[in-house]
Amino acid sequence: MRQDLIRLCSAAEGLLEAHYSNMLTALDNPLDHLGRFPYFDNYINLSKLEHDLLAGHVAAPARVAFIGSGPLPFSSLFLAMYHLPDTRFDNYDRCSVANGRAMKLVGAADEGVRARMAFHTAEVADLTAELGAYDVVFLAALVGMTSEEKANTIAHLGKHMADGAVLVARSAHGARAFLYPVVELDDIGRGGFQVLAVHHPAGDEVFNSFIVARKQEHISTVGTIGCSWQHECIWTTIEGVADGEMSFK
């Protein structure tokens, strides 16, 4: 039943973000209206928490990858706008429709922000040499829907990320694990990472837990990627939304 709830939650979040991406990009100044999104405060708080914890372990990164950015790339957008003014962000999503909507939204940002935000359509399993270029890699909560998929994804990142680079993996704790996949610390270690910090939310400050871990000196990691990042891109029409993106936040 838990796995069914996770998949239902991911589908619902994908449709919600598709709807608000459509709505916001139809406005003259989309970034002035981001607060209309129901979970706006969650992403504002989460970006600050992740930045503050990350800053305790690594200098301001030059390049960041966000894997599973979706049609509303609030996480990387808020980091770029408020916390990392000189960092370049590469956003990866398996769905080209989601990326198209994200690019339209970010296109409304100031030149100093949008020039540092790039979007790529790719499966996580197909990212290899690219991963070695990043100082920090963020792994969205709904990239990998089962424990096995999570473990394989982390092993893949550990195989290809640069030694000393940092992984920020979103997870779930307590009752939230009924709706979001859990990243196991043992899988972080087996993937070739040293856990630096773990944050579990207090109350309703944010939805997700997250883990900060450093890639250790290269070791051979075993694991193949056989994961759906969330779901296949689906074509559906709900409340006037006819799109094929799913969110991976």
Domain spans in the chain, listed from the N-terminal domain onward: 2-243
Angle between helices 2-25 and 96-106 (to 10 degrees): 40
Identify each DSSP E strand in 59-192 by its residue range: 63-67, 88-93, 117-121, 136-139, 166-171
Predicted confidence at residue 246, as pLDDT, reads 36
Question: pLDDT (tens digit, 9 = 90+) per residue, 107-131?
Answer: 999 999 999 999 999 999 999 999 9
3-state DSSP assignment of residue 26? coil
Predicted confidence at residue 219, as pLDDT, reads 52
Show the tokens assigned to 248. 């991976």
Predicted confidence at residue 204, as pLDDT, reads 74
Query: What is the share, in percent, of the chain residues with pLDDT greater than 70?
Result: 86
Q: Please, what's the largest Cα pairwise distance for the chain?
A: 51
Mean pLDDT for the stretch of residues 221-233: 42
3-state DSSP assignment of residue 106? helix
More confident residue, 232 or 192: 192
In this structure, how many other beta carbons lie within 10 angstroms of the beta carbon of residue 219? 12
Query: What is the share, in percent, of the chain residues with pLDDT greater than 90?
Result: 69
3-state DSSP assignment of residue 217? coil
Chain CA centroid to CA 178, Å = 19
The CA distance from 123 to 94, in Å, is 5
Cβ proximity of 84 and 60 under 8 Å: yes
Q: Which of 145, 101, 96 is nearest to 122 (CA)?
A: 96
Question: pLDDT (tens digit, 9 = 90+) per residue, 120-166?
Answer: 999 999 999 999 999 999 999 989 888 899 999 999 999 999 999 99
Predicted confidence at residue 181, as pLDDT, reads 81
Q: Is 70 exceeded by the pLDDT of residue 237?
A: no
Chain CA centroid to CA 186, Å = 21
Predicted confidence at residue 208, as pLDDT, reads 86
Cβ proximity of 42 and 207 under 8 Å: yes
Predicted confidence at residue 245, as pLDDT, reads 37
One CATH from 3.40.50.150, 3.90.1150.10, 3.40.50.80, 3.50.50.60 for 2-243: 3.40.50.150
Predicted confidence at residue 108, as pLDDT, reads 95
